[in-house]
């Protein structure tokens, strides 16, 4: 079956009007061979380079902002209302075994945070989990990576020492580490320590990088490493963010990440909007690259995952056309405006009318967003209900649209 949107964004620097896209999905009998979708824009699904799926509780925590570095916030966070409320449902005992039922449910909730913003790939920065953990999600949670929490705290949440984790990456998957998340001497020295320990490699993905200086950014660009930029979280916690202009001038591979809702944005569409509000001078096409091609590069994902393939469209984000410019269109869009989200040929979310044409072999649920009937793979409403049953009251999560 082919669909013809008003505009198709094939990549950050290529778009075409009225282009027929051949959907690589199971189609119902008697469905038309071609469906026009006027007033709609087609994109490749989005990629979130940094999240903590179990951390997507709400409201934010951090009563003594701004912090000189994030390590101070980690301690302060443990005294927050949000942390103690989450403890009523799941207590982090320090083991970070995320296959435990309640931890797994929270991670599932974090996956839906991403799904409802048109994101089909997310990096869950936590110790590497068993394969079974990654097979439970409605979207793709990156499973091939190595990690360390940070230079200052080390791998306190699990995993091997940073050098061993880097060795196990074999240079073929990202090595991910929080770095220079602050403004004090501790944050300032972390890049130097990273280099001394042999941890600055082409596959290094540094999260935040607030205190990284221009000459150090030049080294990052030269070696080909990547930075995850989370401006919402940075401004909320620290009051400052990465030197993004120098990054862009030097050609550093920078990708946008949400961080968790404990400090960061509601979802990746929200982060895209916030980045634009903070830095309106950055072309929106560059911000779009940060949630598609640049994110794929940072996470060592197949390049094809970041582009829209009109001849075999197994991955698709179809959104109402609210603005003429497709990149401005994303500034206005939210979960209500997503007509269809397709991942590896499987419909994940969208307007219920698509179920007249496309087959979902997995369980799904329906609900209303505004005046529109929606379907979604799985049952996120049940996840919310399970949390409510333990808390004894209803808990709202702003990234859930129902």
DSSP string, 98-120: TTSHHHHHHHHHHHHHHHTTTEE
**In the predicted model, is pLDDT for residue 95 greater than 90?**
no
- What mean pLDDT comes out for the span 153-169? 95
User: What share of the chain in percent tops pLDDT 90?
Assistant: 96
- What mean pLDDT comes out for the span 273-285? 98
Per-residue model confidence (pLDDT) at position 94:
83
Average pLDDT, the chain: 97
Q: How many CA atoms lie within 13 A of 287 on its CB side?
A: 25
CATH 2.30.40 residue ranges in the chain? 2-44+307-391
Q: Which string of b and e fits 334-352 if b means at least 16 CB within 10 Å?
A: bbebbbbbbbeebbbbbbe
| Level-2 CATH architecture, domain 2-44+307-391 | Roll (2.30)
Structure confidence by residue, pLDDT tens digits, 37-88: 999 999 999 999 999 999 999 999 999 999 999 999 999 999 999 999 999 9
- What mean pLDDT comes out for the span 206-222? 98
Question: How many residues make up the chain in this entry?
Answer: 402
Structure confidence by residue, pLDDT tens digits, 281-320: 999 999 999 999 999 999 999 999 999 999 999 999 999 9
User: Cα(57)–Cα(109) distance, rounded to whole angstroms?
Assistant: 9
Considering only 20-24, 52-56, 333-337, 360-364, which range has the smallest mean pLDDT?
360-364
For the segment(s) 47-298, the CATH number from 3.10.450.50, 3.40.50.300, 3.40.50.720, 3.20.20.140 is: 3.20.20.140
User: pTM score, two decimals?
Assistant: 0.97
**In the predicted model, is pLDDT for residue 182 greater than 90?**
yes
User: Cα(400)–Cα(402) distance, rounded to whole angstroms?
Assistant: 6
Phi, psi (5° rounding) for residue 239? 85, 10
**In the predicted model, is pLDDT for residue 268 greater than 90?**
yes
CATH 3.20.20.140 residue ranges in the chain? 47-298
Angle at 232 between CA 231 and CA 235, to 5 degrees: 75
**In the predicted model, is pLDDT for residue 361 greater than 90?**
no
């Amino acid at each position: 079956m082919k669909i013809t949107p008003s505009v198709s964004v094939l990549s950050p620097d290529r778009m075409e009007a009225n282009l027929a896209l051949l959907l690589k999905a199971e189609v119902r009998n008697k469905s038309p061979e071609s469906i026009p979708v006027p007033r709609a824009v087609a994109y490749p699904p989005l990629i979130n380079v940094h999240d903590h799926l179990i951390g997507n509780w709400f409201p934010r925590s951090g009563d003594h902002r701004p912090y000189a570095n994030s390590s101070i916030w980690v301690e302060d966070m443990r005294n927050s209302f949000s942390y103690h409320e989450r403890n009523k449902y799941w207590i982090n005992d320090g083991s970070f075994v995320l296959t435990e039922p309640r931890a797994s449910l929270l991670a599932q909730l974090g996956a839906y945070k991403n799904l409802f913003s048109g994101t089909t790939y997310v990096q869950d920065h936590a110790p590497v989990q068993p394969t079974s953990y990654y097979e439970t999600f409605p979207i793709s949670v990156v499973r091939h990576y190595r990690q360390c929490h940070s230079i200052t705290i080390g791998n306190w949440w699990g995993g091997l020492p940073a050098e061993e984790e880097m060795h196990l990456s074999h240079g073929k998957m990202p090595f991910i580490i929080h770095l220079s998340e602050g403004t004090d001497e501790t944050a300032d020295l972390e890049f130097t320590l990273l280099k001394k320990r042999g941890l600055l490699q082409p596959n290094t993905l540094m999260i935040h990088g607030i205190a990284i200086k221009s000459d150090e950014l030049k080294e990052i660009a030269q070696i080909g490493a990547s930075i995850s930029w989370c401006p919402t979280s940075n401004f909320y916690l620290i009051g400052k963010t990465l030197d993004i202009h120098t990054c862009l001038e030097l050609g550093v591979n920078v990708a946008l990440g949400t961080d968790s809702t404990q400090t960061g944005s509601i979802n990746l569409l929200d982060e895209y909007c916030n980045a634009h509000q903070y830095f309106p001078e950055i072309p929106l096409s560059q911000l779009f690259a940060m949630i598609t091609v640049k994110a794929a590069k940072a996470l060592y994902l197949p390049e094809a995952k970041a582009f829209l393939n009109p001849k075999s469209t197994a991955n698709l984000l179809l959104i109402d056309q609210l603005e003429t410019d497709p990149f401005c269109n994303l500034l206005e869009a939210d979960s209500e405006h997503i007509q269809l989200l397709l991942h590896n040929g499987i419909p994940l979310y969208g307007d219920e009318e698509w179920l007249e044409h496309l087959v979902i072999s997995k369980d799904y649920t329906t609900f209303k967003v505004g005046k529109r009937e929606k379907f979604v793979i799985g049952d996120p409403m049940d996840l919310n209900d399970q949390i409510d049953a333990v808390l004894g009251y209803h808990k709202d999560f702003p990234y859930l649209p129902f």
